[in-house]
Amino acid sequence: MTLWRRLKPHVASWAGLTPFLAFALFPFYWAVITSFKADANLYDLRRQPFWFSKTDGQSGQPYHKDIIVPASFRDGPVQWRIAVGAHTTRSDSEQSPAPIAIIGDQTVYSPVDGALARIDIPTGQVGHPNDVIGSIQVVPDSWLCDSFLSLCTTLTHYRFLASTPFYGWMRNSLVAGAFVVLITILISVPAAYALARLRFRGNRALGIGIFLTYLIPPTILFIPFSQFVGSLHIADKIWSLILSYPTFTIPFCTWLLMGFFRSVPKEIEERALLDGATRLQMLRLVVIPVVLPGILTAAIFAFTLSFQEYVYALTFISSTVNRTLPVGISVEMVRGDVYFWGPLMASAIIGSIPVVIVYALSLDWFISGMTTGAVK
Amino acid sequence: MRPLAATRPRAEEPVAAKQAGRIPLLEREAPLGYLLVLPAVLYLGIFIAYPFVMSVGLSFLDAQAGSARWNFIGWDNYSKVDAYQIVANNFRIATFESEQEARALADQRKQGIVTTEPSGQRFKAVVHVAGNDVPLIEMDSDSDASFNASSVLQDLDWTVRGRGKKWEVIANTGENPITLGEFTDRSKMKEELKHDLLVEADTKVIAKGTGVLQDSNFPLALKNTFKYTFFTEFFKMLIGVPCALLLNRKFGGRRLLRGLLVIPWVIPIAISAQAWLWILDSTYSVINWTLTHLHILSPGHVINFRGDADYAMGSVIAVNIWRGFPFTAIIILAGLTAIPDEILERARLDGANAFQRFFHIIAPMVRPILMVSLLFSVIFSFTDFNTIWIITKGGPYDQTQVLSTYAYQLGINAGYLGKGAAISLFMFPIMAVMVFAMLQFLRRENM
């Protein structure tokens, strides 16, 4: 009884927040489950989609796909070059899929990824070209089947990413992010210190001016900026992003850091000056170590903001290999009207990892930065 | 005036300063301050102010990607009218004393015929239906008059409407009004129109031209931008406030829960929107699956979230709310934690109920911080590109186009740099007004 009384407020709070949490996290759950589903399961509308399923919703059989081999396929004796159980990859998302079989001179591709389960072709039979001479049964890849809670899960979508420039996009995003953080910190830290602590004419106006530039969003500037980038001969190069991203990270981080510099007690500066340090020495040896958490927060934000950026990356970068992660995923993982949902979700999951790591390591700083950034 | 740094009491002056007889430049606050701010000012000057000026410049040029020479064309990108069109709708064909007569006329219009007769220099078209001769229109050319009158007779929907004691037969065109003529001089049009139409009708003047203001997609994009911003912000508040109030209670795992809730805001929207694309897929949407299995929808009539104009706007707004509400909640939470517990405790002891405490204590104290975050949030929603571009690309048929996506479509995809820049710049004064209004509000609130 007393235990329940003690637990009640906790349970009530969790219960009240569950709908919000469900709304916030459902898309991630959905992406995760999609990225591990074999295509046959993924596109089976008869099975409930919230969990994995091993059998076909219509026939109740394990998922498989029959490839019907018409008689016209055969010109001579039917020959197989792939053994039963061999692993095959599907043809729709692979750039150069391996044929699962060669009949006569013609190659047969599997529409699903998986393993050959059964070959059922009577040999030596001659029929009308429209007749069916056999069928090839392909079951979805069961690489993880029976090994993980006996679910029918697959890693094909993740393996597929290796055949795309996905990891190149990841590298581009990380490299751009690292340079942007460097430029931002080098420029924002001194500016924020000067605006927060030094008295000079126009100090306040400059502070507000820098703040207002943060309110000019990329969507107003991307058209002239694309011309500007072209005239600097850095269009379609990662340098165009490294130079353009600080336009929004510098104002934001300067504003953020001003708050941190203001919270440093004036006395420690004065004491350092009394001890004979020059102002720059004082800044380097006394003030900066004190605001290091603030600088880290600013770096985290600079990285996150540049990792999230989309408009500039979409406009300035035109070749596939030079794209950043968000643009690469959204532009290159779709061919015409065909969305490769499995690989798309797999790339979304892997693509989120860098920000999630940064975020998990700095949760409290991050949230305090969110509020001070908006409030100061 | 002596530099401020020198007024500070010191145990010993720096050696260098003593020798030079003055304080070195970098030891004085003002020069050091300017020096430290200079890189930021230069950077933002080059990479924000310059493109901004360039944007204004481009909007006055007939700039096109790939064309060698760009000419100054003044305001033509913003507004250039080639001709004015008069369009008419709801022609009042005839008025009767009884409903029966009116209905008879409307029912028999299929058997009606059109004749034209000269009227001075011009031609008059008369519609003959069920024994009534209705002079409809007068035009310069015989064929134009006959064509327009025939459209009114054959293509339009004739309805009967009671008005006072009388009954009117009205020919309605639905969504595509009939164009009566084109004029280059707006002032002559009214006069012209009086001669043209021999029956009453609703007329409207449409400016046709190549400027952005004459582009029918532009008002649509403008309207969508406001719609998108308003509904996003409204629902973010509606969800964010209760969420923050719940998070402000003390319970185990609060930190973890807060961390999980902010995830939508942390993950790049271009990446998380891919999950939404899949959730909103036309065939495999999990929402459709659920609604079908709850027998709310029949399998043949599932919702096409992105392809159906009625749902597309709602879909992009929903995704933006999903992404933004954690931010709103965290900001409100920061405001809530700043309220001292004693105040709420005192109010509770004084007999204030939860609603009274919310509206009289919590809301006024959170308001300043909320307004600042709202300022940011409104600006970012107003200029948002990513969500809409990834979810619908402005489609179907430009129905979810907002200013930023339309600027991209026209400026980058179609290569009309000048027009694209003009559309982008339309956002600027609207934003400036919003920022100004918010700053005025904050000043009044004494922040």
Is residue B86 in some structural domain?
yes
pLDDT value of residue B16: 46
Q: Name the domain count of chain A.
A: 2
Residues B250 and B394 in one domain: yes
Q: What percent of chain A has pLDDT over 90?
A: 23
- B411 interface with A at CB cutoff 8 Å: yes
More confident residue, A368 or B382: B382
Whether residues B200 and B232 share a domain: the answer is no
Alpha helices, DSSP H only, in B296-362?
A: 309-337, 341-349, 354-357
Residue pLDDT, tens place only, A259-299 = 888 888 888 888 888 888 888 888 888 888 888 888 988 99
Nearest chain A residue to B4, by CA:
A199
Same domain for B232 and B168: no
Q: A9-23, A100-114, A240-254, A300-314 — which is least confidently predicted? A: A100-114
Q: Both B266 and B352 in a single domain?
A: yes
Identify the top-confidence range among A52-56, A124-128, A312-316, B139-143.
A312-316
Residues of B whose CB is below 8 A from A224: 51-52, 54-55, 57-58, 421
One domain for residues A171 and A276: yes
Summarize the confidence of residues A220-234 as an average pLDDT: 88
> Are B97 and B199 in a shared domain?
yes
What 3-state DSSP class applies to B86?
strand
Report residue B144 as tokens: 């134009």
Inter-chain residue contact B272 with A251, CB threshold 8 Å: no
Higher pLDDT among residues A300 and A86, named by residue: A300
**Structure confidence by residue, pLDDT tens digits, A61-101:** 766 666 666 666 655 555 554 555 555 655 444 555 666 66
What are the chain A neighbours of B247 within 8 Å (beta carbons)?
A: 17
Burial of B403 (0-12, 13-18, 19+ CB in 10 A): buried
pLDDT of residue B8: 45
**Nearest of B137, B229, B211, B130 to residue B430 by alpha carbon:** B229
A220 and A325 both lie in a single domain: yes
Chain B residues inside the 8 Å CB shell of A32? none
Tell me if chain A has a CB within 8 Å of the CB of B417: yes
* Pair B311, B195 in one domain: no
pLDDT at B10: 46
Q: How far B417 CA sits from the closest chain A CA (Å)?
A: 7
Instruction: Tell if the CB–CB gap between B268 and A352 is shorter than 8 Å.
Output: yes
Chain B residue with Cα closest to A334:
B274
- Is residue B193 in a domain? yes
Structural domain tally of chain B? Answer: 2
> Is B242 found in the same domain as B192?
no
Q: How far, in whole angstroms, is CA A302 from its chain's centroid?
A: 17
Q: Which of A234, A250, A241 is nearest to A327 (CA)?
A: A241
Average pLDDT value for chain A = 79
Q: Give chain B positions within 8 Å (CB) of A243.
A: 47
Taking CB atoms and an 8 Å cutoff, what residues of chain B touch A208?
none
Residues in chain B with CB shorter than 8 Å from the CB of A49 are 284, 286, 289
Q: What is the pLDDT of residue A115?
A: 65
Full-model pTM: 0.80
- Whether the bond into B396 is cis, omega within 30 of 0: yes
Contact A295, A141 (CB under 8 A): no
Cross-chain Cβ contact A250/B411 below 8 Å = no
Which of B25-50 are b and which e, b meaning 16 or more Cβ less than 10 Å from the residue's Cβ? eebbbbbbbbebbebbbebbeebbee
Closest C-alpha among B188, B34, B169, B182 to residue B98:
B169
* Tokens encoding A120: 């059922």
32-51 in chain B: CB under 8 A from chain A: 32-37, 39-41, 43-44, 47-48, 50-51
The answer on B219 and B134 residing in a single domain is no
- Looking at residue B397, its pLDDT comes to 86
Assess whether A82 and A214 both reside in one domain: no
Place of tokens 């020096």: B35
**A348 contacts B424? CB cut-off 8 A:** no
Of B209, B230, B262, the last residue of a domain is B209
Q: List the structure tokens of B28.
A: 């004085």
In this structure, are residues A64 and A109 in contact, taking their beta carbons and an 8 Å threshold?
A: no
Nearest-Cα residue of chain A relative to residue B46: A247
pLDDT at A212 over 50: yes
Nearest one of B131, B130, B124 to B199, comparing CA atoms: B124
Q: In the prediction, which pLDDT does A174 show?
A: 94
State the amino acid at position B33 in one-letter form.
G
Measuring CA to CA, which residue among B138, B135, B136 is closest to residue B118?
A: B138
pLDDT of residue B190: 66
User: Cβ contact (<8 Å) for B40 and A344?
Assistant: no
- Cβ neighbours of residue A49 under 8 Å, at least 6 residues apart? B284, B286, B289
Query: What is the model's pLDDT at position B127?
Result: 81
Find all residues with CB under 8 Å of A169, minimum gap 6, and list them: A323, A324, A325, A327, A328, A329
Confidence of residue A143 (pLDDT cuts 50, 70, 90): very low
- pLDDT top residue among A178 and B129: A178
Same domain, A266 and A331: yes
Q: Are residues B190 and B220 in the same domain?
A: no
Residues of B in contact with A24 (CB under 8 A): 260-261, 263-264, 322, 325-326
- B284 Cβ partners below 8 Å, 6+ apart? A42, A43, A45, A49, A341, B278
Q: Are B390 and A333 in contact (CB under 8 A)?
A: no
Which of A47-56, A138-147, A188-197, B134-143 has the highest average model confidence (pLDDT)? A188-197
Burial label for A61, CB within 10 Å (0-12, 13-18, 19+), is exposed
Extract the tokens encoding B206.
């449409």
B424 CB neighbours in chain A (<8 A) are 219-223
pLDDT at A88: 60
Please indicate whether residue A344 or residue B10 has the higher confidence score (pLDDT): A344
| Minimal Cβ distance to B278: which of A10, A34, A48 | A34
Domain membership of residue B13 (yes or no) is no
3-class secondary structure for chain A?
CHHHHHHHHHHHHHHHHHHHHHHHHHHHHHHHHHHCECHHHHCCCCCCCCCCCCECCCCCCECCEEEEEEHHHCCCCCCCCCCCCCEECCCCCCCCCCCCEEECCEEECCCCCEEEEEEECCCCCCCCCCCEEEEEEEEECCCCCCCCCCCCECCHHHHHHCCCCHHHHHHHHHHHHHHHHHHHHHHHHHHHHHHHHCCCCCHHHHHHHHHHHHCCCHHHHHHHHHHHHHHCCCCCCHHHHHHHCHHHHHHHHHHHHHHHHHCCCHHHHHHHHHCCCCHHHHHHHHHHHHCHHHHHHHHHHHHHHHHHCCHHHHHHCCCHHHCCHHHHHHHHCEECCEECHHHHHHHHHHHHHHHHHHHHHCHHHHHHHHHHHHHC
Q: Contact B36/A190 with Cβ under 8 angstroms? A: yes
CA distances from A67 to A140, A361, B183 (A): 13, 50, 65
Task: Check whether A108 has a pLDDT greater than 60.
Answer: yes
Range of the domain at B344: 214-444
pLDDT, residue B258, reads 85
Do B169 and B230 lie in one domain? The reply is no
A with B: how many residue pairs have Cβ under 8 Å apart?
298
Residue B419 · residue B333 · CB < 8 Å: no
CATH code for the domain of B338: 1.10.3720.10
Q: Are residues B283 and B406 in the same domain?
A: yes
Task: Give the residue from chain B lying closest to A255, CA to CA.
Answer: B40
Q: Which of B117, B198, B147, B283 is nearest to A42 (CA)?
A: B283
pLDDT in tens, chain B (447 residues): 344 444 444 444 444 444 545 777 777 888 888 989 899 999 998 988 888 888 888 888 888 877 778 888 878 888 888 777 777 778 887 788 878 778 877 777 777 788 888 877 788 888 887 777 878 888 877 888 888 888 777 777 787 878 777 888 888 777 777 777 777 777 766 666 666 777 777 777 777 777 888 888 888 999 999 999 999 999 999 999 889 888 888 888 888 888 888 889 888 998 999 999 999 988 888 888 888 888 888 877 888 888 888 899 999 999 999 999 998 898 888 888 888 888 888 888 888 888 888 888 888 888 877 887 788 888 889 989 999 999 988 878 888 899 999 999 888 888 888 888 888 888 888 888 888 887 787 777 655
Average of pLDDT values for A158-187?
A: 91
Interface residue A147 vs chain B (CB under 8 A) = no
The pLDDT value recorded for residue B6 is 41
Q: Give the ipTM.
A: 0.81
Beta-sheet pairing, B122-129 with A334-335: unpaired
Main-chain dihedrals φ then ψ at residue A184, nearest 5 degrees: -60, -45
The confidence score (pLDDT) of residue B411 equals 87
Report CA torsion sign: B400, B401, B404, B408: positive
Q: What CA–CA distances, in Å, run from B15 to A31, A283, B21, B26?
A: 66, 19, 10, 14
What is the token pair recorded at A311?
């408009």
What's the confidence (pLDDT) of residue A177? 94
Q: Using alpha carbons, select from B427, B383, B425 the residue that is nearest to residue B57.
A: B425
Q: Are strands B113-119 and B81-96 parallel, antiparallel or unpaired?
A: unpaired
Cβ of B47 within 8 Å of Cβ of A243? The answer is yes
Q: What is the spatial distance between Cα A39 and Cα A296, in angstroms, rounded to a whole number?
A: 43
Which pLDDT belongs to residue B279? 92
Which one of A25, A220, A307 has the shortest CB-CB distance to B55? Answer: A220
For chain B, say whether A109 makes contact (Cβ under 8 Å): no
Let me know if B324 is exposed, middle or buried by CB neighbors in 10 A (0-12, 13-18, 19+): buried
CA A131 → CA A120, A121, A157, A288, distances in Å?
15, 12, 35, 81
Q: Residue B69 falls within a domain, yes or no?
A: no
Residues B304 and B390 in one domain: yes
- Which residues numbered 258-287 in A keep a CB inside 8 Å of some CB on B? 270, 273-274, 276, 278-280
Whether A255 and A133 share a structural domain = no
3-state SS of B117-151 is: EEECCEEEEEEEECCEEEEEEEECCHHHHHHHHHH
| Predicted pLDDT at B103 | 80
Report the CATH number at residue A321. 1.10.3720.10
Asked whether the beta carbons of B370 and B332 are under 8 A apart, the reply is: yes
B27 close contact with A: CB closer than 8 A:
yes
Angle (CA) A362 A366 A372, round 5°: 145
**Residue A122 sits in which domain range?**
65-153
